[in-house]
């Protein structure tokens, strides 16, 4: 049994737009005049040196922080005007894995599914974990897993979350060669089924139709 | 509403996995309240007189012990950020965390109170009043405490700061909670105390979740 994307997204007309974004941290201006348009199937690779503001840009896009100047639009409407609607379509994975160490991989998936308001049957959660090589470890507390295995749990969450927009901060960290291939496959599936992907990474990514944004 | 229950379920399950932290707070309550009768000796009249104050102060301090845990662990590992990004209103999530804190740190105090009260030679009616005030008062402690816990997120030495911020806010609950038990023991009417405690509880319930949710949002920005 392998877990696949259950369905392509009903309307694939979703768009994410950034208009003249600027970010200021303390006295320093990190970036300004960042604009882009992403529609279904687009992938944006944010590149730049350490400390140039990649994570800050991603957090602006999620709505966790507010831009100094500029706007973020989801389906041509400000994200601050439709927070819950936007968050329903959004999956953001940051530096920290946000997994509870006391919970098993399976319980972590289920706890997040309950929070995200998704119906996640037991078999589906198991299948997602198995697909990413966690067979036999699904009931082990997460603090017994290695950094790479925790990342694999997150990949299972990406699969089960069913969000149209993925915003991923350094998703390739701590992954071995096989896992990198698995993740790239997952991303390609997401894009072909009409999803949108924004990610930061210091390594080259092998997905078709990648737009690059250099900060 | 589903968010509230999801958070309560999750937090209670987490507590079940790390029992030591909760048991510490409860054990603290039991030990502190047991030390007074041992230290003061067998002067039953004096014990009856100080019982409401001692038990209520111990209850305040033991809820305080569990407060920093309400948001801090989720803040540190990024789970709070994920909750803020879930399609649920933050108020419901925060309310769920407050409810979970009360179930873990407040409710056991209500249940333990009669046992503790016996050590102070309280009579039956005083024990009922004590349980009643704790039942109305401990949710207020969890509610008000959540403001302090949210405001001190990411602050070094936040645990101590929470006590300084929150203990003054606890004084009305302490006064009316302990006051009701004392009034009952000298044969006065306690309905006024209960009404005021109830009013404080309703006010806190109406405003605090919004305040704490805003404080949490500011902390994760």
- Residues 6+ positions from A67 with CB-CB distance below 8 Å: A21, A22, A23, A60
**Res. B101: pLDDT tops 90:** yes
Q: What is the pLDDT of residue A1?
A: 47
Mean pLDDT calculated for residue range B100-113: 94
What tokens does A50 get?
A: 């350490």
d(CA B53, CA B179): 8
The list of chain A residues with pLDDT below 70 reads 1-12
Q: What ipTM was reported for this prediction?
A: 0.87
**Res. B161: pLDDT tops 60:** yes
- Which whole-number Å values give the CA distances from A14 to A41, A189, A215, in the listed order? 10, 17, 25
Q: What is the pLDDT of residue A4?
A: 58
- By CA distance, what is B84's nearest residue in A? A64
10-49 in B: which are within 8 Å (CB) of A? 10, 13-14, 17-18
Mean pLDDT calculated for residue range B123-152: 94
Bridge pairing between strands A165-169 and A28-39? unpaired
- Residues 6+ positions from A33 with CB-CB distance below 8 Å: A20, A21, A22
Mean pLDDT calculated for residue range B116-120: 91
| Residue A141 DSSP one-character state | B
Choose the closest CB to B78 out of A84, A97, A111. Answer: A97
d(CA B60, CA B57): 5
Instruction: Put the strands of the sheet holding A90-93 in their side by side order.
Output: A90-93, A165-169, A196-200, A43-47, A210-214
List pLDDT tens digits, range B55-68.
999 999 999 988 88
- Give the distance from residue A101's alpha carbon to the nearest chain B alpha carbon, in angstroms: 9
The phi, psi pair for B124, rounded to 5°, reads: -55, -50
CB contact under 8 A, B81 and A94: yes
Mean pLDDT calculated for residue range B130-153: 95
- Cα angle at B181 between B176 and B182, to 5 degrees? 95
- Give the distance from residue A68's alpha carbon to the nearest chain B alpha carbon, in angstroms: 13
Instruction: Tell me if chain A has a CB within 8 Å of the CB of B219.
Output: no
């Amino acid at each position: 049994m392998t877990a696949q994307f259950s369905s392509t997204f009903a309307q694939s007309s979703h768009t994410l737009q950034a208009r003249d974004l600027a970010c200021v941290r303390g006295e320093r201006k990190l970036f300004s005049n960042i604009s882009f348009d992403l529609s279904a199937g687009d992938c944006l690779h944010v590149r730049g040196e350490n400390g140039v503001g990649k994570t800050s840009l991603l957090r602006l896009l999620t709505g966790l922080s507010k831009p100094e100047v500029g706007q973020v639009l989801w389906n041509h409407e400000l994200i601050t005007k439709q927070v819950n609607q936007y968050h329903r379509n959004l999956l953001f994975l940051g530096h920290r894995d946000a997994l509870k160490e006391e919970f098993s991989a399976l319980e972590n998936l289920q706890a997040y599914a309950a929070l995200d308001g998704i119906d996640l049957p037991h078999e589906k959660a198991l299948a997602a974990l198995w697909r990413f090589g966690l067979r036999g470890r699904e009931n082990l507390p997460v603090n017994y897993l290695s950094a790479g295995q925790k990342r694999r749990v997150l990949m299972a969450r990406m699969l089960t979350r069913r969000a149209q927009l993925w915003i991923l901060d350094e998703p390739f960290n701590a992954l071995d060669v096989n896992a990198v291939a698995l993740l790239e496959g997952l991303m390609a599936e997401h894009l072909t089924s009409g999803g949108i992907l924004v990610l930061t990474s210091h390594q080259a990514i092998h997905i078709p139709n990648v737009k690059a944004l250099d900060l | 509403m589903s968010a509230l229950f999801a958070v309560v379920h999750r937090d209670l399950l987490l507590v079940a996995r790390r029992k030591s932290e909760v048991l510490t707070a409860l054990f603290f309550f039991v030990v502190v309240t047991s030390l007074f009768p041992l230290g003061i000796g067998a002067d039953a009249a004096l014990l009856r007189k100080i019982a409401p104050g001692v038990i209520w102060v111990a209850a305040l301090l033991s809820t305080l012990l569990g407060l920093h845990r309400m948001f801090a662990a989720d803040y540190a590992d990024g789970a709070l950020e994920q909750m803020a990004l879930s399609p649920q209103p933050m108020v419901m999530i925060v309310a769920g965390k407050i409810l979970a804190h009360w179930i873990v740190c407040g409710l056991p105090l209500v249940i333990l109170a009669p046992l503790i009260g016996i050590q102070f030679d309280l009579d039956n009616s005083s024990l009922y009043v004590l349980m009643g005030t704790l039942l109305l008062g401990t949710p207020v402690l969890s509610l008000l405490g959540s403001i302090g816990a949210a405001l001190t997120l990411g602050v070094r030495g936040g645990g101590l700061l929470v006590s300084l911020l929150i203990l003054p806010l606890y004084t009305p609950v302490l006064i009316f909670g302990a006051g009701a038990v004392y009034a009952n023991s000298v044969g006065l009417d306690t309905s006024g105390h209960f009404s005021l405690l109830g009013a404080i509880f309703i006010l806190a319930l109406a405003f605090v979740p919004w305040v704490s949710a805003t404080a949490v949002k500011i902390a994760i920005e």
